[in-house]
């Protein structure tokens, strides 16, 4: 396999982690499992079709899949992968654990943890790279089911070595990591867990991963030509609404053109992408009263904080989270709801491309599917904003990929 390490991306989403691994030049995917057809369409377009980043096996149809269906329908094929897979990457969906949401312990999505562990036990990769929200390390108020935080449950399940010797178990370490300390222009703290199979863990240790990624980050970011910390302005000031044209994929909307790059971060993500219209840079259609309201908020409200009760009252706003952003710092964690934030200097919400920049996606990475959705459809559909809001920032994924490659060597 051309000397590259092999991995499987579970709960792959639109491909943030796989894009990071692709950008290292050291990894090649075997296949990816993603349930949402919307997110998989983006993933497939960029990484499978356009970049040929996967050696997809013949036995698996190249489309969106549910992990439980894969485990049920292909157990022999998964068992046959033992000894051939360097890494299984990716963590189960996090909505049931997220402190940004309602934190429902018996949310059916939380059960995917067990499916994840079952998959690991079948394939037994050399290393595991697992990501989840900060809430994954916090107890639920009632805690009827696990009786302890889920991160501890996952650690003990992965470390377990049964007497039959068929499953070797992993040496595991999990920590909270703030991605803004790794060049991403967003204060986004996530639970990262690294597991090394016990038969190879005597040569190395998962703690090495966390020490190394912290020690290497400065060299990595200097190499990329960007700073240790990047602000919102560093990320998107070349996407201001200066020149606009008809949106290529939705003709009833206007889209922005590129302005001159203002920062090394912008130059890095734009790379040699030669289009004059950035992908998915479509502006929302705000009413005159919304624009007026946003102008007042930008002028009068504290930045990077949700609106005061006074301002909410003034405009009769019932929405819990509306945050006007500062251009001079990294943003708070972006969610899947674009109307949670107001642009730092223009009276509007972000475009999908600005979201992608904040999450560190390269500009050549094109997003597919609807832009937004609402109502009951939110439980079924994963539009572009949600795909990005749920992703692992590729810039962090790339740093993780480099360190994991070193550990395996």
Q: Is the pLDDT higher at 293 or at 141?
A: 293
Nearest to 334 by CA among 229, 186, 176: 186
State both tokens at 110.
């939380």
Mean pLDDT score of the chain? 89
**For residue range 174-190, what is the model confidence (pLDDT) as tens digits?**
899 999 999 999 999 99
342, 317 in Cβ contact below 8 A?
no
User: Quick one: pLDDT at residue 79?
Assistant: 95
pLDDT class for 227, splitting at 50, 70, 90?
confident
User: Quick one: pLDDT at residue 151?
Assistant: 73
Cα 46 to Cα 57: distance, rounded to the nearest angstrom? 18
141 pLDDT above the threshold of 60: no
CATH number of the 232-375+383-389 domain: 3.90.120
pLDDT class for 199, splitting at 50, 70, 90?
confident
Note if 94 is an active site residue: yes
Buried b (16+ CB within 10 A) or exposed e, 28-50: bbbbbbbbbebbbbbbbbbbbee
Helix (H, G, I), strand (E, B) or coil at 176: strand
Alpha helices in 359-393 (DSSP H): 384-389
Range in 74-88, 143-157, 178-192, 323-337 with the lowest mean pLDDT:
143-157
Nearest to 39 by CA among 277, 278, 370: 370
Cα 72 to Cα 79: distance, rounded to the nearest angstrom? 12
Range in 76-85, 86-95, 270-279 with the lowest mean pLDDT:
86-95
Q: Is the pLDDT higher at 374 or at 197?
A: 197
Q: Give the side-chain half-sphere CA count within 13 A for 369.
A: 25
At residue 267, φ and ψ (nearest 5 deg) are: -60, -40
Over residues 124-132, the mean pLDDT reads: 93
Q: Which of 12, 48, 94, 325 is catalytic?
A: 94
State both tokens at 388.
């990005």
Buried b (16+ CB within 10 A) or exposed e, 229-247: ebbbbbbbbbbbbeeeeeb
Cα 336 to Cα 386: distance, rounded to the nearest angstrom? 4
Cα 326 to Cα 35: distance, rounded to the nearest angstrom? 35
> CATH top-level class for 5-226+393-408?
alpha beta
Written as one string, the DSSP assignment of 194-254 is EEEEHHHHTT--HHHHHHHHHHHHHHHHHHTT--SS--HHHHHGGGSTTSEEE-SS-TTSE
**For residue range 345-385, what is the model confidence (pLDDT) as tens digits?**
999 999 999 999 999 999 999 999 988 876 667 667 789 99
> Is-same-fold flag (5-226+393-408; 232-375+383-389)?
no
Q: Where are the domains of the chain?
A: 5-226+393-408, 232-375+383-389
Cα 132 to Cα 210: distance, rounded to the nearest angstrom? 16
pLDDT class for 143, splitting at 50, 70, 90?
very low
User: Quick one: pLDDT at residue 142?
Assistant: 47
Range in 68-82, 244-258, 339-353, 371-385 with the lowest mean pLDDT:
371-385
User: Quick one: pLDDT at residue 98?
Assistant: 43
């Amino acid at each position: 396999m051309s000397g590259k390490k092999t991995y499987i991306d579970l709960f792959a989403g639109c491909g943030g982690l796989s894009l990071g691994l692709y950008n290292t030049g050291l990894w090649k995917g075997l296949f990816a499992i993603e349930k949402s057809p919307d997110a998989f369409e983006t993933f497939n377009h960029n990484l499978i079709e356009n970049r040929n980043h996967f050696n997809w096996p013949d036995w698996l149809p190249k489309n969106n899949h549910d992990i439980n269906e894969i485990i049920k329908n292909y157990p022999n094929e998964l068992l046959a992968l033992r000894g051939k897979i360097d890494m299984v990457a990716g963590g189960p969906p996090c909505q049931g654990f997220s402190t940004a949401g309602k934190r429902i312990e018996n949310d059916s999505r939380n059960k995917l943890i067990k499916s994840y562990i079952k998959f690991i036990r079948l394939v037994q990769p050399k290393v595991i790279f697992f990501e989840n929200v900060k809430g994954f390390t916090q107890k639920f108020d009632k805690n009827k089911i696990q009786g302890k935080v889920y991160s501890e449950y996952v650690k003990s399940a992965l470390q377990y070595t049964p007497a039959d010797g068929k499953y070797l178990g992993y040496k595991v370490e999990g920590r909270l990591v703030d991605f803004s300390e790794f060049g991403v222009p967003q204060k986004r703290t996530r639970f990262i867990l690294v597991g090394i199979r016990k038969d190879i863990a005597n040569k190395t240790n998962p703690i090495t991963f966390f020490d190394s990624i912290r020690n290497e980050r400065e060299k990595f970011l200097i190499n990329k030509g960007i700073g240790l910390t990047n602000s919102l302005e560093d990320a998107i000031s070349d996407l201001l609404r200066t020149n606009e044209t008809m949106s290529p994929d939705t003709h009833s909307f206007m889209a922005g053109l590129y302005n001159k790059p203002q920062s090394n971060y912008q130059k890095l993500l734009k790379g040699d992408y030669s289009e004059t219209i950035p992908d998915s840079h479509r502006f929302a259609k705000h009413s005159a009263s919304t624009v007026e309201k946003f102008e007042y908020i930008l002028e009068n409200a504290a930045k990077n904080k949700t609106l005061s009760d006074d301002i909410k009252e003034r405009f009769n706003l019932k929405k819990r989270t509306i945050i006007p952003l500062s251009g001079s710092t990294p943003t708070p964690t972006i969610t899947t709801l674009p109307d949670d934030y107001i642009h730092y200097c223009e009276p509007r919400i972000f475009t999908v491309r600005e979201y992608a920049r904040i999450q560190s996606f390269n500009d050549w990475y094109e997003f597919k599917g609807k832009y937004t959705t609402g109502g009951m459809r939110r439980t079924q559909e994963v539009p572009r904003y949600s795909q990005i809001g749920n992703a692992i920032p590729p810039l962090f994924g790339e740093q993780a990929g480099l360190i994991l490659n070193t550990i395996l060597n």
